Amino acid sequence: MSFLVILRIVGLLLMLFSLTMVPPVVISLIFDDATWDAFVIGLGITFVTGALLYWPARNARRELRTRDGFLITVMFWSVLGLFGSLPLMLAADPSLSFTDAVFESFSGLTTTGATILTGIDLLPESIRFYRQQLQWLGGMGIVVLAVAILPTLGIGGMQLYRTEIPGPLKDSKLTPRITETAKALWYIYAALTLTCFLAYWLAGMSWFDAIGHSFSTVAVGGFSTHDASIGYFDSATIELICVFFMIVSSLSFGLHFAVWREKRLRHYLVDPEFRFFIIFLALLVTITIATLILSGTYDYDDSLGLRHGLFEVVSVATTTGFGVADFTAWPGVLPFMLFIAAFVGACSGSAGGGIKVIRILLILKQGLREIHRLIHPNAVFSVKVGKMRISSGVAEAVWGFFSAYMLLFVLMLLILLATGLDQVTAWSAVGSSLNNLGPGLGGVSAHYGDMPDLAKWTLVMAMMFGRLEIFTILVLFTPAFWRR
Amino acid sequence: MSFLVILRIVGLLLMLFSLTMVPPVVISLIFDDATWDAFVIGLGITFVTGALLYWPARNARRELRTRDGFLITVMFWSVLGLFGSLPLMLAADPSLSFTDAVFESFSGLTTTGATILTGIDLLPESIRFYRQQLQWLGGMGIVVLAVAILPTLGIGGMQLYRTEIPGPLKDSKLTPRITETAKALWYIYAALTLTCFLAYWLAGMSWFDAIGHSFSTVAVGGFSTHDASIGYFDSATIELICVFFMIVSSLSFGLHFAVWREKRLRHYLVDPEFRFFIIFLALLVTITIATLILSGTYDYDDSLGLRHGLFEVVSVATTTGFGVADFTAWPGVLPFMLFIAAFVGACSGSAGGGIKVIRILLILKQGLREIHRLIHPNAVFSVKVGKMRISSGVAEAVWGFFSAYMLLFVLMLLILLATGLDQVTAWSAVGSSLNNLGPGLGGVSAHYGDMPDLAKWTLVMAMMFGRLEIFTILVLFTPAFWRR
Ligand SMILES: [K+]
Ligand SMILES: [K+]
C-alpha cells in the first residue's frame, strides 16, 4: 500500500475542500448573519490539517493500483464528512454537538438528506447555504465515483456498462482516463445545476432558494433551506420543475455522458435501466394518485391529490427525499409502498441511492430464468439486459451485493432496536440511511434529532455503506486486504 | 400434462387421507366429547369426493414426468388443506368459519402452527388431538417432499446433497425410488415420534398430551393441546426433552437417513449445515441467556432465565414455535433477533421452515468470495461447502430462491398492510407464515384470530409458498408451464 501517496492525496483533498468554505463566508457577509467566523475557522483548521498531511508526503509519487482505490475512496468520504462538520459545530447557531454535526455533515455529503435540525428557516443564511452546498459537492463526488472510479474497482451497477460505453470506462489503471471522464461529468453536472437553478428562479424562488434547491435537487439530496421543504413554495410549477430534475438526476450519468458525446437522444430510449425505471415510476404514480383520490385523502380536491401524489412518489422513489406533503400519514399501504420503492432506488451512475434499478432488473430476470430452468431442466437460458448477455461474474456480484445489503440492514436494525427505538422508527431509519433517502417513518418522519447517539453513529455508517456500494468499505475489514 | 393420472392420484390421496379421521373418532369416543360426528361426516365427504375423482380415472396409468411433479405437489397440499378443514367447520365446538377452519388446517398441515383459536384447553379432546395429528401428517409429508421429491424437481436446499448421498436421491425419474426412500424416512420419522412420546410420557405428561406433543415436536410444528403450550407443564425435564427433539427434528432427514443406512454417527459431525446450525444456535442461546440474566428479566432468578432462554431460542430458531415464556415481551433486541433467526430457519430436508441453513451458509460464502474477488481481481475462487464445490447452477438457484423469498415477503406485507394492520403485526405475521414458524410479534404474538379474512387467506398462501419452497408454486403461474 502506498501510504505516503495516499497521505499526499488526502492532504491535497483537504486543502481543496477547505476552499469550499469560502462561498458560505460570502453568503454570511451578504446576509450579515454573523456566522462568517465559523467558516473561516473551519477553513483554517481544514487547510492547515491538509497542509500538514501533504507536506511530508509532497514528493511521494507512484502509480496507484486498484487496491489503493478502495482506501482512497473510503478516506475521501470519511475525512470530508468529519471536516465538513466543523462549521456546524463552530457556529453559535445552531451550535450542534459533535455527533449531530457529524451526522448532518455525512447526511449532506452522502446526499442522504436526513437532518437532525428543526427551525431551518431561522438559521443563519450561511449555514442554510452550506448544507445545500455539501449535498451538491457530495453529489458531484458520487457521480464521478459511480461512473469513473467504482467500475475500475469492480464495484457497482455501472460495471455492467463497462463494455458498452466507449472509451474512458474501459481502462484498468486508475489515474489516466479518470480525469477526462470526470471533467465531462462535471460539465454535465454543472450544466444540469445551472438549468435547474434558472428554472427555479424563473418560477419564483429567490436566488438564494433557487441556488440551494438546485444544488440539492441535482445531487438527489433532499436538503432544503426550509423546514417545509418544497412545500414551502406551494407552487405547482416549482413542483413540476423539481419532479423533472429529480428524474433527470436519478438517471445514469454514464448514459447522459454517452448521449452528450454522441449527440443521440435515442440512447435513453433503448437503455433497459431507463425504461424499467420510467415504467416503475409511472406505475407507482398511478397507484398512489388513484388511492389518494379514491380515498379522499385531500377532501376530494383531485388536483391536490394529483400534485402531491406525483411529487412524493418521484421524491421518494428517486431517493431524493424532498417533501410537499406528509406521505407517511397517507392511507393504507402507500407509506410502506413508497418507502419500499426507495429500496429499488435510482439508476446506477447517478447520485441517487437505493439498491439501484439495474440490480433489481437483473435480480428479477434471474428469478424468471430460475423458473424457466425448472420447467425445462435441460435447456440453457442466458440472462440478457438489453442486447447484452450477463456473465455469471456480474450476476454473482449483483447477488453478493443484494445479500450483503440485507445482512447489513438486519445488523444495523438490531443495533438501533438495542438503543430502545420502536420497530417502525428503527427499520425505516436504517432503510432511509442505507438507501440515502432521507425521511423515514414513525419517529423519524420529520427529523432525526431525537435519536440516541449510538443510533446516529450507526446511521452515519449506514449512509456511508449505502453511498459506497457496501463492498468498497467491506473489503477494508478483511485481513486479506491489508496483507502485503 | 397427464390430467387423468393426476386426478387418479388426488382421488387416491383423498381416500387415504379420509382414514386419518378415524383416530379422532376413537379419541372422541374415549373421552366422550360428543364430537365424533364431525369427523365421521368429514371422513365421509372426503372419501366420497376422493372416490368420485378416482373412479373415472382409475385406469389412467402413465410414467409421471418432472413437470407433473409440480402440479401434484401443489395439489397434494391444497386439497389436503381444504378437506382437512372439514371437521373443524363441522364440529359444534369450536364451530369455526370457513376461513378460520382453512387457516387452522393449512397452519397444521404446513407445520406452521399459527392458530386462530383461544381456549384450546376447553375444546373437545378429539379436536385437540386432530390438530396435533394434522401437524404430524404434514411433517411426514414435508420430509418426504424435501428429501425425496423436490430434489428431483430441481428445487430446494436438498438438491445440494444429490451427489453426496448414495442411492435414492440420484434418480431423475419420479416414481421408482421415491417409494423406497419414503419408506426409510417414514421409519426414521416414526421412530423419532415414538421415542419422543415415551420421553414426554415418562417425564410426566398424560398419554394424551404426550402423543399430541410428540406429534407436533417431531413435525417442527408447534401446535399444543394447551393455550400455555409447553409452559403448561412447567417442567424443566419436559422442556429439555422438547429442546432435544426440536433440534433433532430440524436436522436434515437426508442426513439422518445417511447415518441410519451406514450406521455412522460421524456423518453428523462432518456435515457443514449441521455444524453451522449448531454453532448458530449456541451463539443465539448464549446471547439470549446473557441478556435475560443481566437485564434481570426474571427478577434475577437465573435458573428461569436459563430455562426460558434456551427453550425459546431453540423453539423459534428451529421454527417450531412452542412457548414457555412470552419472548415477544423480552427486553431490547431479543424479540427481533429471535424472529430474524427464524428466517435462517432449520436445516434443509427437515420439516422445519425458514430460508434453510444451507442456503444462508451458501449466501454468506458467496459474499465472502465477492470480497476476495475484489481484492484479487484476477484470481479464481470457487465456493465450497464441506468438500463439495458449488456449481454456478446451484448458486443461482439459491440466489433465485432468496430474491423470490424477499419479493414475496414484500408483496404479502403490502397486502396485509392494505387490510389496515400495523407494521409490526403485518411483517411478523408474514414472516412467521412464510417461515412456517407460528407465533408473531405485535398483534399476532398470541394468536391470529383477530385478523381480517383477506389477511388470513394471504397468510395461508404464505404458509404454502414457504412450505413448498416458493418455486414449486411459482412455476404454476407461468404460461410456459402449461404449454404442451
Ligand atoms: K436523498
Ligand atoms: K412451526
Say whether A418 and B332 touch across the interface (CB within 8 A). Answer: yes
Helical axes A207-218 vs A175-202, angle rounded to 10°: 140
Tell whether the model's pLDDT for residue A327 goes beyond 80: yes
Measure in Å the smallest separation between the Cα of B367 and chain A Cα atoms: 5
Say whether A333 and B371 touch across the interface (CB within 8 A). Answer: no
Neighbours of B238 (CB within 10 A): 22
Say whether B367 and A336 touch across the interface (CB within 8 A). Answer: no
User: CA B297 from chain center: how many Å?
Assistant: 31
Whole-number pLDDT of residue B380: 72
User: Which runs of E-coded beta strand occur in B172-286?
Assistant: none
A108: confidence class by pLDDT, cuts 50, 70, 90 = very high
ipTM field:
0.82
Nine cell digits for residue B484? 404442451
Tell whether the model's pLDDT for residue A157 goes beyond 70: no
Say whether B396 and A480 touch across the interface (CB within 8 A). Answer: no
What kind and span of H or E run contains B389? Answer: strand B388-389
CA-CA distance, B460 to B465, in Å (whole number)?
A: 9
Measure in Å the smallest separation between the Cα of B200 and chain A Cα atoms: 36
Whole-number pLDDT of residue B171: 39
What kind and span of H or E run contains A388? Answer: strand A388-389
Calculate how far, in angstroms, residue A433's C-alpha sits from the geometric centre of ligand 1: 9
Whole-number pLDDT of residue A176: 54
What digits encode the pLDDT tens for the residues B258-275? 888 888 888 888 888 999
Interface test with A, best of B383, B399, B430 (most A CBs within 10 A): B399
Residue A457 CB-density burial (10 A; 0-12 exposed, 13-18 middle, 19+ buried): middle
Whole-number pLDDT of residue B176: 54
Say whether A423 and B420 touch across the interface (CB within 8 A). Answer: no
- Residue count of chain A, please give it: 484
Which residues touch B477 (CB under 8 Å, ≥6 apart)?
A: none
> Which of A147-156, A172-181, B213-222 is least confident?
A172-181
Neighboring chain A residues of B365 at a CB cutoff of 8 Å = none
Ligand nearest the Cα atom of residue B249: 2
**Interface size, chain A vs chain B, as Cβ–Cβ contacts under 8 Å:** 134
Whole-number pLDDT of residue A86: 94
Whole-number pLDDT of residue A287: 93
User: CA A185 from chain center: how many Å?
Assistant: 16
Question: CA of B127: how far to CAs of A92, B93, B450, in Å?
Answer: 72, 9, 21
- Is residue A12 within 8 A of residue A44, CB to CB? The reply is no
Alpha helices for A318-447 (secondary structure H): 334-344, 357-375, 392-418, 423-434
Nearest CA in chain A to B155: A374
> How far apart are the two ends of chain A, measured CA to CA in Å?
7
Percent of chain B beyond pLDDT 70? 94
Radius of gyration of chain B measured on its C-alpha atoms = 22
Residue B19 CB-density burial (10 A; 0-12 exposed, 13-18 middle, 19+ buried): exposed
Helical axes A125-144 vs A36-54, angle rounded to 10°: 40
Whole-number pLDDT of residue A169: 40
Neighboring chain B residues of A337 at a CB cutoff of 8 Å = 414
User: CA A228 from chain center: how many Å?
Assistant: 21
Nine cell digits for residue B281? 444456535
Whole-number pLDDT of residue A164: 37
Interface test with A, best of B291, B371, B468, B477 (most A CBs within 10 A): B371
Report which of A465, A394, A385, A437 is spatially closest to residue A157, judged by C-alpha positions: A394
Nine cell digits for residue A88? 456546524
Report which of B370, B435, B429 is spatially closest to residue A153, judged by C-alpha positions: B370
Neighboring chain A residues of B340 at a CB cutoff of 8 Å = 410, 414
CA dihedral B308, B309, B315, B316 (to 10 degrees): 130
Tell whether the model's pLDDT for residue B159 goes beyond 60: no
Report which of B366, B364, B154 is spatially closest to residue A393, judged by C-alpha positions: B366
Sign of the alpha-carbon torsion through A128, A133, A136, A139: negative
Question: CA of B218: how far to CAs of A75, A230, B14, B234, B247, in Å?
Answer: 53, 59, 24, 20, 9
- Is residue A412 within 8 A of residue A430, CB to CB? The reply is yes
CA-CA distance, A306 to B340, in Å (whole number)?
A: 39
User: CA A400 from chain center: how many Å?
Assistant: 21
Neighboring chain B residues of A471 at a CB cutoff of 8 Å = 370-371, 374
Say whether A410 and B340 touch across the interface (CB within 8 A). Answer: yes
Tell whether the model's pLDDT for residue A42 goes beyond 60: yes
What digits encode the pLDDT tens for the residues B29-70? 999 998 999 999 999 999 999 999 988 888 877 777 777 888
Neighboring chain B residues of A404 at a CB cutoff of 8 Å = 367, 370
Calculate how far, in angstroms, residue A115's C-alpha sits from the geometric centre of ligand 1: 11
Quickly list DSSP for B38-63.
Answer: HHHHHHHHHHHHHHHHHGGGTT----
Whole-number pLDDT of residue B226: 94
Say whether B475 and A371 touch across the interface (CB within 8 A). Answer: yes
Measure in Å the smallest separation between the Cα of A72 and chain B Cα atoms: 14
